[in-house]
Chain A
Amino acid sequence: MSEHPEPYDSPQHRDETAIAGMWLFLASEILLFGGLFLIFVVYSHSHAAGWALGVRHTSLVIGGINTVLLLTSSMVYILGVEAARNGNARGIIQAGLGAAALGMTFLCLKGWEWHTEFGEHLFPGPGFAIGGPQAGGAQLFYSFYFLSTALHGLHMLVGIGLIAWVCLRTYRGRGRLLQVMPVEVVGLYWSFVDLVWILLFPVLYLIGRV
């Protein structure tokens, strides 16, 4: 690669720039999920009864456990960011691995939940489990459910990949000056993934349940 001079004045200037870039990217991500939430807003009103019927079929236990797991994961990762600020490389790796493990547990539970739902014919289409006059609204709910959890799951996979990268580069860079910025940038992304779930959880499991 032909080396082109970097545009930054100082390492601090570079770090600020990268963090600003991540914030702006997250603004873009908000609009991505925003379009998805519009589907929820419209259909949960136009097909209220069927939508609520769909919500009642989701597994509140798994959803609840997953929410706790993901919130804990974000908190653990923040400890890693603190460790980075204190120059503690071991702390970054420990927190990163912990956060990633909790994230993987979330995904495994989610996968299992999907598996049971496929088994119960809750994926929309011919042979859909919920019959009766509200079947259409319930199908729309499950379209939303599968797409939103898939998109969120994809973001989690990317996040876990990024955390693994942070751990790896910290491990390889032992003994050298510790860079805080990559740890923070990945932390922003991981918190965002968490935040999306905080909105998805009530939408998929709570609103319309009672």
Chain B
Amino acid sequence: MAPISGPDTTQRSYLWQDGTVRSWLLTTDHKRIALLYMASITAFFVLGSVGAALIRLHLISPTGAILSDATYSRMFTMHGIVMVWLFLVPSIPVTLGNFLVPLMLGAKDLAFPRLNLISWYLFIMAGALVVYGLFRGGLETGWTFYTPLSTDYTQGRVLPVVAGVFLSGFSSIATGVNFIISIHQLRAPGLTWYRLPLMLWALYATSVIFVLATPVLSITLLLLAFEHFFHVGVFDPALGGDPLLFQHLFWFYSHPAVYIMILPGMGVVSEVVSTFCHKPVFGYRFVAWSSISIAAIGFLVWGHHMFVAGTSLYAAVVFSMLSFLVSVPSAIKVFNWLGTMHGGAIRLDAPMLYAMGFIGLFTVGGLTGLFLASLASDVHLTQTYFVVAHFHYIMVGGMVSAYFAGLHYWWPKITGRMYPEMWGRTAAALLFFGFNLTFFPQFILGYEGMPRRYATYPAQFQVLNVLSSAGASILALAYILPLIYFTWSLFRGAPATDNPWQATGLEWRTSSPPPVENFITPPVVTHEAYDYAALDHPDTAQRAEAPHV
């Protein structure tokens, strides 16, 4: 199993095999599709960030600094819709997941390569529709499209945006089907379920949600569009419908979608923590099954978004208890990462800094979630900045940190180039501090009663709002820096070796960047996951492999 390297690898790598635009746009190579997705979601991330920047700039002044009230509403809606549906939901699965699933399985491609390409085109069409709607007037419903605001009262462009989100759902379902079937069908010889990297367990759990929750969003949006277009009663109380039914259906998807937005990040962190401590993940099976149980319990907690919406008290009590249950598998993960780090030879390279940031920020986000899952405190905190801060700790502090951790970690494999380590560490530190400065004040604002989604606020909240906006500018720097040095490294970065981090996954056994067919010799797995002993003492490992050859 000698790694393949040498001067000719760049010629045969997937990046340079055929350089025409046509070959990229019609590719069925999962690695190239991952890069197509990466370029697209980066563009959407920039768009969503511009929205956030304008919101934070506006909130420097209690009376609102730059936007009219209506524009402010449209701006936070734009930020929410673009970030949730065009960045966070696809983020890690479609980029790193697309690139890594076949490599980690030791396969040549995903199970359905053409479906994979179709999913990207669906995503692009979805993005185009959403952007069209947002720029031709936008809408002020927030990312949740609650009825009857979205069907009766809004002046904005509901239909194209809803149609775009609807389409992006099909792209998600296609990706989910592809991942699940690939993991079942395409594992290399010897790669049993309990030898899979934890990233794959996390992506499997994510895909289950993609496949089983997304269609519920699709039908909900279809009903919404039907009502909006034909003025036919489904959810609108004026037409006899029940607006609460919309909220039930919407959150039946959108709460599991929160786990779509965090489980892949947990997968990345499991890989990174193990590699940079050079130790197997503590309690492998617990971490693996905690991903599955988060996905499963996640389907049963949607009602906690509706505690003040007039649902029955008994339903609320049950949903509250079930929501507390999610913290069990989440805590298992956090404690097992800490257990992995305990006594490990920790190397503080950029991916590890991002991963440690993830662990801390995710823990804060998770613990503050308990305040919101408790009925009594939720009545006080719901619809305030406390909620905004809580979910940004999970979505940005958690998922965006993990996304950057994964990008830095697998960048050498994807591009064959090293990023500048010092700059990577700087960006990771800036992200952590900028993020906390932006969002920690929002916990206090919310606790003191500042409601979300208002364009103005009482003057007593100004200091904390200015702090938050100042933090956002540091956060912006932490996003712009990697954009610059990653681009730089594509041309000037030091060439990467096949396994620069001394990691164990199958993806590190092929060249950087991998050849078109992923592996010159199809790999055979003879070790448990994260078997560093075999990596460090290849002689003993070779002997162990010998009988299998």
Residues on A facing B (Cβ under 8 Å): 1-2, 4-7, 13, 16-18, 20-21, 24-25, 27-29, 31-36, 38-39, 42-43, 46-47, 123-125, 136-137, 139-140, 143, 146-147, 151
Interface pair B516/A17, CB less than 8 Å apart = no
Contacts of B348 in A (CB 8 A): none
Contact B214 A28 (CB under 8 A): yes
Q: Is the CB of A124 within 8 A of B232?
A: yes
CB contacts (< 8 Å) of A31 on chain B: these are 212-213, 215-216
Which residues 165-199 in B have Cβ within 8 Å of A in the complex? 173, 176-178, 180-182, 184-186
- Minimum CB distance partner of B239 in chain A: A139
Q: How far is the CB of B241 from chain A (nearest CB, A)?
A: 7
Please determine whether A7 and B102 come into contact, CB atoms closer than 8 angstroms: yes
Asked whether A147 and B223 contact (CB < 8 A) given A4-B113, A42-B245, A125-B232, the answer is yes
Interface of A is mostly: helix
Query: In the assembly, what is the distance between CA of A139 and CA of B240, in Å?
Result: 8
Q: Do residues B249 and A35 form an inter-chain contact, with CB atoms below 8 A?
A: yes
CA distance A2 to B26 in the complex (A): 7
Contacts A36-B219, A139-B239 aside, 17 further interface pairs with beta carbons under 8 A come to: A4-B28, A4-B109, A7-B108, A7-B110, A21-B115, A21-B177, A27-B212, A28-B173, A28-B214, A31-B212, A34-B215, A38-B245, A42-B245, A124-B230, A137-B240, A139-B240, A147-B223
Which residues of chain B are near A46, meaning CB under 8 Å?
A: 242
Alpha-carbon separation in the docked complex, A70 to B248 (Å): 33
B426 neighbours in A (Cβ, 8 Å): none
Chain A residues with CB under 8 Å of B108's CB are: 4-7
Q: Which residues of B from 229 to 252 have beta carbons under 8 Å from A?
A: 230-234, 239-242, 245, 248-249, 252
- The 3 residue pairs across chains A and B that have the minimum distance between CB atoms: A35-B219, A32-B215, A136-B240
The CB with the most chain B CB atoms within 10 A, among A21, A124, A140, is that of A21
Query: Taking the complex as formed, is B23 at the interface, i.e. its CB lies under 8 A from any CB of chain A?
Result: yes
In the complex the two chains form, what is the Cα distance from A24 to B222 in whole Å?
22
Q: Does B300 contact A (CB under 8 A)?
A: no
A182 CB → nearest B CB, Å: 14
A32 close to B242 (CB less than 8 A) = no
Residues of B within 8 A of A38 (CB): 245, 248-249
Residues of A within 8 A of B186 (CB): 7, 17
The answer to whether A5 touches B222 (Cβ under 8 A) is no
Given the contacts A4-B113, A29-B215, A125 and B181 also touching, CB distance less than 8 Å? no
- The closest CB in chain B to the CB of A137 belongs to B240
B532 close to A (CB within 8 Å): no
A28, A42, A146: the one within 8 Å of B215 (CB): A28
Residues 86 to 121 of chain B near chain A (Cβ within 8 Å): 102, 107-113, 115
Cβ contacts under 8 Å, B248 to chain A:
38
| Residues in A neighbouring B240, C-beta threshold 8 A | 47, 136-137, 139-140
User: Which of B109, B185, B227, B241 sits near A5, CB closer than 8 Å?
Assistant: B109
Tell me if A2 and B29 are in contact (CB < 8 A): yes
User: Which residues of A are found within 8 Å of B516, using beta-carbon distances?
Assistant: 4-5
Docked Cα-Cα span, A28 to B212, in Å, equals 5
A20 touches B181 (CB 8 A): yes
Are B184 and A147 within 8 A (Cβ)? Answer: no
Known contacts A7-B186, A20-B185, A39 near B18 by CB under 8 Å: no
Task: Write 23 A-B pairs (CB below 8 A) sorted by A numbering.
Answer: A4-B28, A4-B109, A5-B516, A6-B113, A7-B108, A7-B186, A20-B184, A20-B185, A21-B115, A24-B177, A31-B216, A35-B219, A36-B223, A39-B223, A43-B242, A124-B230, A124-B232, A124-B239, A125-B230, A140-B233, A140-B234, A140-B240, A143-B226
